[in-house]
Structure formats: structure tokens, C-alpha cells
């Protein structure tokens, strides 16, 4: 079939602009009829040079820069950064601050999972679930706004503590929102596990075995849906997670349905944790003293973002600006599995499998890949990028 | 005088302009109901009209490499065919403008021309989304068309005629939904397949193939195709109501019965997730056809056909 029309015709491009993708990314899907025979991914459309920009800002300003790596899990980025910087500086945030970090992180996880539920339902053409879950997500957005003053980039963290405290009125508002959401989540769990038409699109689709998940280095709910008990909150407790332990949520089926179930069950775990945390909030300061200069040294910081393990590497040269900050977001770990899992499935399943890992492309773009018209590709090094940016700034073309 | 009244009937009422207006109104009702079911506000009443006016005013981009005649002509055919079919269908509860024995088959074929135009339009364009969408549109056509036709022939079997007006005379006395419930279900769901409404919207699933066969269409062509679909919605609802819900005896009965059907259709759209194209085909040939055949067998037995 392909020899008459050329291989190009049966390659379906998904992205960089495509209704299934809310962010730019490029998937090249080779199909035979409706069956996918090959898939490749190309990243780098949303490279923003955040790591480089960090080297020109001081430690405090960088907190707000890294909060903007991701629009959905903004707090967890700031937390990872703040924990790393505090470790370098030898400062420990007070217990109440650590607890509030956990509180906001779990609220953010609820908001992120509900958002994902809607997006994934939309990919399956189930717009009613999409509209309902996003409506319910508003309750969490309102709570976060009441708590921190912001709906998206909460800026709850400062170096050495948090910005905002929880008073009784906010506590009641959170508990009220959780009660409503808990009822709704039971309903959603019921829908995704019993709706016959929806199950046709999720059960047995994109199945990743535990072995595959470990080999491909999957993280977060994607890995936990395949039976890999990997959760940084438990494996290497940070902030106040040692004090408020979560329960591991693991499913073994490894298909899309399991990924739905894992995320919804994590919602219940977050509700429980937040209630427990609000009842056992330690008293005291919410902010410690933080030096302006951070002593020389390097450290890593690992946290569990809603999408999986988030990794920060920080290097200080003893001044008030970092020498190097490296961010690795969970999407990049999980993307490998998408390219692998779609092969053999129908074209219609590709957006579902892609949505199943809850991708966040602009978060993970740390490199620029150039593709020439003759098909050769090459990656730009740090130096090349820097030279290019200087040339553009000085009005010269490459 | 006779020619003049026929002309007026074709151009304004019950066909022609009335049909276009009704198609926009029904599209709005459908969208509004769906929005309400999904906890949204939904469009204002004139939104479908505004969409059409906007599209008609916009530039129509004809992509490179397409057959221009087909690209421009197919939307016209796609709208003209259902408008022609309307001449044989008792719109607004009034007698059809034209009627002859066997016009049911003609009407159903005219209603399929729109889908075939969309499929051809997609195949004509060179975009990959258009091609995949066109393949899916035509695949879907082959899956729902036979059950839909068979379901509409159920009442025809009782009436002993393939003339729409004769069938309606019989169905006005019998609510066929009571005696042929399986046929009714297949006819209504077949209509949803015909209109590519959820859960049968795989041919235009935006998360997979953007806008399917119509991806390359903009401006006038898109407006005509959309109008064609709206017209087909009204005609399909009319046919199902006329055949299964005790006929459409007058304008009031027409509106009440078709809108009641639209309510069901919108409800189904809200609660069902999209089917993959292979699942659509499987559903129709495994269950749709079987249901209708069972219905036919039952009808034949109860009618005493075995004697």
C-alpha cells in the first residue's frame, strides 16, 4: 500500500498545533489504516530558557521564576526549589510552615487530578464528565485563592517558610470544599469503572506491565497504575510528609482504566491527609530566617508532583545567585512509555494514551532540537543557544 | 395557480426557507439542551444563524492540489440533496409537496448524499486529517445505513407500501413505537449515526482528526455543509416521529413530537462517551442489524405472515 503513495501519506502528525494538545509538541504517528505502526516524539517547542534565566536572578527571585515552570503544579516546583535552597543554606523551615507546604501541595494535587480527569474524558469524547470535573475543580481553586490570594501561581512558599497562615475560617472553607468533592469523587470513580462505553475506551488500552514501567522509568500515577510502588512522599519524605504519612495508592492492571482509578483514589488519600493535617497543625512560626547568600555547595531535591517525581539540582557558588539549577519534570520520564505503548493500538487511542500520563510539555522542554529540511536533526548545546540568543539580541541573524 | 403554490411550497413553506430556519432552530435547541445537561449555559438563540452568517462572509480558502470543481460543488450538492428530500417528507405536519409510490427509498437515498458528499470532500483534500476523517465517515456510512433503512422499512411493511404518505396514514392510527420498539430504537440511534453526533462522532473527533473530512473547509463550503446537517437533523427527526410516534398530524404534533425526540437525542449525547470507529461498525452490524431483523421477524409472525 505504501509503495505507491510514499511513506509520507500514512504518517499522521499530531502537533505542534493540534486540538488534542493544549501545549506544543509533535508526535509523528505512522498508521496502517487505523493501526499505529510507529510513533516518534519531538520536543522543544516551548523551550523558555528558564534554567539560564535563573543564573541571572538571585535566590529569592528565582523562587517565583520556578513557580512558573508549570501552570498546574506551580506550588510543587517552588517547594522543591525552596527545600533545596534551604538545605544548601542550612536552614530548616518551622514545622507549621512545612505542614502548610504539604497542605497546599495536596490541594494542588486535587486540583491537578480533577483537571486531568476532565482532559482525559474530553480525549475520549466524554464531554459531560469533562464539564463536571472542571466545575468541581473550581471549589479547590477558590480555596487556594482564599488561602494564598492566587488561583494559579499561589506563591505560598518563601525561602525559609511559607507566606500564608491558615485561620479557622479558611479551615472551615477547605473542609466544606473537601466534603463536596469527596461525594463527587465517589461518583466519578463509579463512572470510570462502570460506564460501559467509557470502559471500551480505557480497559485494556495502553497496558504497561510492571516490568515495562520499571525499564522505561515511569514515575508517579502512571507507574503506580502499573504496580510500581514509587512515591517520593513515602520513599524519601520531604517537607512534613514524615509527620503526615500518605498511603501508597497502587493498581496492578496498568491500562488506562487503572490510571483513572489510581488518580481518583489518590484524591481520596489527599482528602484524608488534608483533614488529618488540619486537625493536627503544629503551632508556631511560619517563617524562619534566611541568609541572602547561600554557602557554596550543591544538592538535589526530589518531590512528588501530581504527575510524578520532580527533580531539582541546585549548585551554589557562595553568592546570592545560583550557579546552576537543573529541573527535570515527570513528563519527560513518562513520555518514553507513550511512544512505546501506542504501537499496535488504533489511532483513536493515541490521544487517550498520551493523556494517560498527564503530559505537561512546556514544563519538560529543556532542549531545542532542530530539524533541517533534508531530514537531518541535531541538538543545540548550551553554548550554541547562548550564542544564538546574543546574536538575536544584537540584531544579527544566525 | 397550482404551479405557483407548488413553487411557493418549495421556496418558502413547508420546504425551503422554513426548513433552513427550522434547521437553525433545532441546532440551537440541541446545543442548548446538551449544554444544560453538561452544566453549561449554552449558546444564545441566534448563535447558529450568526455562525452561518459569519462563515458565509468569510473567505473560502481552497487548498492546493484539490479538484476545485469538487471542492466548491460538493457543499452545494450536500445541502441540495436533503433540501430535495424534504419535498417528499411531511414537514410541519403538512402533506408532502410531491408523493409517489416508492418515495421513501428516494428520500432516504437523498439523505445519504450529504454524508457521501462529506466523505468525497474529505477524500478530495490532501490533508491527512481529511483523509482519515473521510475514511471514517464512509466507513460509518456503511455501518449505520442498512440498519437505519431497515428500521424505517418496518412501518412500511405493515402499511404494505413504500410511499411515505401512505405509511403515515397507517402510522397515524398505530403508534409503531409500541408494536415495534426495537425498530424505533435502531431508527433513532441510526439517525444519530447519520448526523455524526456523539457517541458516533469518531469521523470528526477533534482530539484525533481535528475536524475530520471537513478540516480543510472554511467559509462558504463549511457553512453549507453545516446547514445540510441541520436540515438532515430536522428531516430525520420528522421521519422517525412520523413513522413511529403516531404520525405528525399537524404543526403542533410535529413540533411536540420532534422536539421530544430531540430531547432524547441530546440526552444520549450527554451521557455517552465516543466510540472508536471499529466499535461503531461492530455495534451496528452485531446489534443494530440483529435488532431490526428480530423486529422484522416478530412483525412478520404477529402479522400472520407464516400462514
Yes or no, beta carbons of B202 and A348 under 8 Å apart: yes
Which residues of chain B are within 8 Å of residue A197 when distances are taken between CB atoms? Answer: 199, 272-273, 275
Q: What is the mean pLDDT of chain A?
A: 85
Residues 6+ apart with CB under 8 A from B219: B55, B56, B58, B59, B60, B61
Those residues with Cβ within 8 angstroms of residue B266's Cβ, 6 or more apart along the chain or in another chain:
B29, B30, B33, B34, B37
Q: In what order do the strands lie in the sheet with A26-32?
A: A11-14, A26-32, A35-42
Question: Residue B304: its pLDDT value, please?
Answer: 67
Question: Which pLDDT value is given to residue B199?
Answer: 84
In chain B, pLDDT over 70 holds for what percent of residues? 96
Inspect the interface and report whether the beta carbons of A127 and B37 lie closer than 8 Å: no
Q: Which residues of B touch A125 (CB under 8 A)?
A: 198-199, 201-202, 205, 207, 273-274
- Chain B residue with minimal CA distance to A19? B207
B206 and A20 within 8 Å at the Cβ level: the answer is yes
Helix (H) or strand (E) holding A1: none
- Written out in words, the top-level CATH class of the domain with range A50-331 is mainly alpha
Return the domain boundaries, chain A: 50-331
Percent of chain A exceeding pLDDT 90 equals 29
Q: How confident is the model at residue A1 (pLDDT cuts 50, 70, 90)?
A: very low
Give the model's pLDDT for residue B264. Answer: 92
For residue B14, what pLDDT is reported? 66
CB contact under 8 A, A19 and B274: no
Cell of B148: 437505519
Mean pLDDT of A77-91: 91
Q: How far apart are CA A261 and CA A192, in angstroms?
A: 8
Higher pLDDT, B221 or A368: B221
pLDDT band at A195 (very low <50, low <70, confident <90, very high): confident
Cβ pair B244, B187 in contact under 8 A: yes
Q: Percent of chain A having pLDDT more than 70?
A: 92
| pLDDT at A5 (0 to 100) | 45
* pLDDT tops 50 at residue A8: no
Q: Grid coordinates standing for A184?
A: 463527587
**At A366, is the pLDDT very low, low, confident or very high (cuts 50, 70, 90)?**
low
Say yes or no to pLDDT of A368 above 70.
no
* Angle, helices B47-57/B219-244, rounded to nearest 10 degrees: 140
Q: Quick check: A9 contacting B, CB < 8 Å?
A: yes
- pLDDT at residue A384 greater than cutoff 80: no
**Does A184 touch chain B if contact means CB atoms closer than 8 Å?**
no
Q: CA–CA separation, A311 vs A219, rounded Å?
A: 11
CB contact under 8 Å between A126 and B270, yes or no, is no
Q: Cis peptide leading into A309, omega within 30 of 0?
A: no
Q: Is the dihedral of CA B249, B250, B254, B255 positive or negative?
A: negative
Give the model's pLDDT for residue A18. Answer: 78
Q: Does the beta-carbon distance from B273 to A201 stay under 8 Å?
A: yes
Mutate to test the interface with B, among A14, A18, A128, A351 (most CBs of B within 10 A): A128
Q: Is A348 part of the contact surface with chain B (CB cutoff 8 Å)?
A: yes
> Taking phi first (over 0 means left), then psi (-120 to 50 degrees means alpha), and beta for anything else, what does residue A378 get?
beta
Name which of A23, A322, A47 is nearest A159 in CA terms. A322
SS (H, E, C) A247-286: CCCCCCCCCHHHHHHHHHHHHHHHHHHHHHHHHCCCCCCC
Cross-chain residue pair A124–B208, CB shorter than 8 Å: no
Chain A from 51 to 110: CB within 8 A of any B CB: none
Confidence of residue A367 (pLDDT cuts 50, 70, 90): low
Q: Do B201 and A346 touch (CB under 8 A)?
A: no
Mean pLDDT of A50-76: 88
Contacts with A131 from chain B: Cβ below 8 Å = 38-40
pLDDT of residue A2: 35
Residue of chain A minimizing CA distance to B274:
A125
Quick count: other Cβ atoms within 10 Å of Cβ A217? 15
How far is residue A236's CA from residue A306's CA, in Å, rounded to a whole number?
16
- Residues from chain B that touch A124, judged by Cβ atoms under 8 A, are 273-274
Give the distance from residue A19's alpha carbon to the nearest chain B alpha carbon, in angstroms. 5
Residue carrying C-alpha cell 440498519: B147
A19 touches chain B (CB under 8 A): yes
The pLDDT tens digits of the residues spanning B178-232 come to 778 888 888 888 888 888 888 888 888 777 777 888 888 888 889 999 999 999 9
Mean pLDDT of chain B: 85
Extract the C-alpha cell encoding B72. Answer: 466548491
SS (H, E, C) chain B: CHHHHHHHHHHCCCCCHHHHHHHHHHHHHHHHHHHHHCCCCCCCCCHHHHHHHHHHHCCCCCCCCCCHHHHHHHHHHHHHHHHHHHHHCCHHHCCCCCCCCCHHHHHHHHHHHHHHHHHHHHHHCCCHHHHHHHHHHHHHHHHHHHHHHHHHHHHHHHHCCCCHHHHHHHHCCCCHHHHCHHHHHHHHHHHHHHCCCCCCCHHHCHHHHCCHHHCCCCHHHHHHHHHHHHHHHHHHHHHHHHHHCCCCCCHHHHHHHHHHHHHHHHHHHHHCCCCCHHHHHHHHHHHHHHHHHHHHHHHHHHCCCCC
* Each residue's pLDDT tens digit, B84-129: 888 888 877 677 777 888 888 888 889 899 999 999 998 888 878 8
B45-63 pLDDT, tens digit per residue, is 999 999 999 999 988 888 8
Instruction: Test B199 with A348 for CB contact under 8 angstroms.
Output: no
pLDDT at position A104: 92
Cell of A122: 474530553
Amino acid at each position: 500500500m505504501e509503495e505507491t503513495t510514499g511513506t509520507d501519506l500514512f504518517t499522521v502528525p499530531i502537533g505542534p498545533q493540534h486540538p488534542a494538545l493544549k501545549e506544543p509538541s509533535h508526535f509523528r504517528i505512522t498508521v496502517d489504516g487505523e493501526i499505529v505502526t510507529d510513533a516518534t516524539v519531538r520536543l522543544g517547542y516551548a523551550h523558555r530558557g528558564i534554567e539560564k534565566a535563573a543564573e541571572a536572578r538571585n535566590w529569592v527571585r528565582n523562587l517565583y521564576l520556578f513557580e512558573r515552570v508549570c501552570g498546574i503544579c506551580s506550588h510543587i516546583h517552588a517547594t522543591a526549589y525552596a527545600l533545596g535552597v534551604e538545605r544548601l543554606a542550612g536552614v530548616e523551615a518551622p514545622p507549621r510552615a512545612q505542614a502548610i507546604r504539604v497542605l497546599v501541595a495536596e490541594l494542588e494535587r486535587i486540583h491537578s487530578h480533577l483537571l486531568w480527569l476532565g482532559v482525559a474524558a474530553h480525549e475520549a469524547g466524554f464531554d459531560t464528565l469533562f464539564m463536571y470535573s472542571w466545575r468541581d475543580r473550581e471549589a479547590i481553586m477558590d480555596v487556594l485563592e482564599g488561602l494564598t490570594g492566587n488561583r494559579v501561581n499561589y506563591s505560598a512558599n518563601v525561602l525559609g517558610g511559607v507566606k500564608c497562615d491558615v485561620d479557622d475560617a479558611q479551615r472551615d472553607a477547605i473542609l466544606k470544599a473537601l466534603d463536596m468533592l469527596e461525594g463527587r469523587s465517589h461518583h466519578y470513580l463509579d463512572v470510570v469503572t462502570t460506564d460501559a462505553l467509557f470502559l471500551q475506551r480505557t480497559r485494556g488500552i495502553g497496558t504497561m506491565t510492571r516490568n515495562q514501567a520499571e525499564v522505561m522509568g515511569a514515575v508517579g500515577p502512571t507507574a503506580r497504575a502499573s504496580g510500581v510502588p514509587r512515591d517520593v512522599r513515602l520513599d524519601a519524605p520531604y517537607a512534613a510528609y514524615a509527620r503526615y504519612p500518605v498511603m501508597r495508592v497502587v493498581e496492578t492492571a496498568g491500562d488506562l482504566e487503572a490510571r483513572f482509578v489510581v488518580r481518583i483514589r489518590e484524591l481520596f488519600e489527599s482528602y484524608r491527609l488534608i483533614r488529618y493535617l488540619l486537625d493536627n497543625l503544629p503551632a508556631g512560626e511560619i517563617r524562619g530566617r534566611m541568609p541572602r547568600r547561600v554557602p557554596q555547595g550543591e544538592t538535589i531535591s526530589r518531590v512528588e508532583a501530581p504527575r510524578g517525581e520532580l527533580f531539582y539540582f541546585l549548585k551554589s557558588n557562595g553568592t546570592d545567585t545560583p550557579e546552576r539549577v537543573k529541573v527535570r519534570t515527570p513528563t519527560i520520564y513518562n513520555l518514553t512509555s507513550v511512544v512505546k505503548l501506542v504501537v499496535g493500538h488504533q489511532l483513536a487511542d493515541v490521544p487517550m494514551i498520551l493523556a494517560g500520563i498527564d503530559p505537561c510539555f512546556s514544563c519538560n522542554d529543556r532542549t531545542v532540537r532542530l530539524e533541517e529540511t533534508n531530514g537531518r536533526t541535531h541538538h543545540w548545546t548550551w553554548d550554541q543557544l547562548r550564542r544564538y540568543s546574543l546574536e538575536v539580541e544584537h540584531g544579527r541573524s544566525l | 395557480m397550482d404551479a405557483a403554490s407548488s413553487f411557493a411550497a418549495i421556496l418558502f413553506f413547508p420546504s425551503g426557507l422554513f426548513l433552513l430556519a427550522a434547521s437553525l432552530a433545532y441546532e440551537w435547541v440541541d446545543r442548548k439542551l446538551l449544554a444544560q445537561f453538561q452544566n453549561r449555559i449554552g449558546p444564545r438563540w441566534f448563535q447558529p444563524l450568526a455562525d452561518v452568517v459569519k462563515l458565509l462572509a468569510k473567505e473560502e480558502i481552497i487548498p492546493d492540489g484539490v479538484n476545485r470543481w469538487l471542492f466548491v460543488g460538493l457543499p452545494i450538492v450536500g445541502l441540495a440533496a436533503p433540501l430535495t428530500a424534504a419535498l417528499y417528507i411531511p414537514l410541519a405536519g403538512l402533506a408532502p409537496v410531491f408523493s409517489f409510490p416508492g418515495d421513501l427509498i428516494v428520500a432516504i437515498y437523498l439523505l445519504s448524499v450529504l454524508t457521501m458528499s462529506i466523505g468525497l470532500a474529505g477524500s478530495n483534500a490532501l490533508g491527512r486529517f481529511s483523509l482519515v476523517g473521510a475514511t471514517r465517515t464512509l466507513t460509518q456510512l456503511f455501518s449505520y445505513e442498512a440498519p437505519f433503512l431497515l428500521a424505517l422499512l418496518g412501518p412500511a411493511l405493515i402499511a404494505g407500501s413504500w410511499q411515505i404518505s401512505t405509511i403515515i396514514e397507517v402510522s397515524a392510527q398505530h403508534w409503531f413505537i409500541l408494536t415495534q420498539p426495537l425498530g424505533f430504537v435502531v431508527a433513532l440511534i441510526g439517525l444519530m449515526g447519520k448526523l455524526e453526533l456523539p457517541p458516533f462522532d469518531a469521523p470528526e473527533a477533534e482530539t484525533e482528526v481535528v475536524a475530520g473530512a471537513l478540516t480543510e473547509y472554511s467559509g462558504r463550503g463549511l457553512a453549507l455543509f453545516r446547514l445540510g446537517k441541520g436540515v438532515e437533523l430536522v428531516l430525520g427527526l420528522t421521519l422517525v416521529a412520523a413513522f413511529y410516534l403516531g404520525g405528525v398530524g399537524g404543526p403542533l404534533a410535529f413540533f411536540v413530537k420532534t422536539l421530544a425526540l430531540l430531547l432524547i437525542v441530546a440526552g444520549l449525547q450527554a451521557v455517552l462517551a465516543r466510540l472508536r470507529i471499529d466499535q461503531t461498525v461492530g455495534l451496528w452490524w452485531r446489534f443494530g442489524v440483529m435488532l431490526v431483523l428480530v423486529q422484522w421477524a416478530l412483525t412478520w409472525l404477529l402479522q400472520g405472515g407464516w400462514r
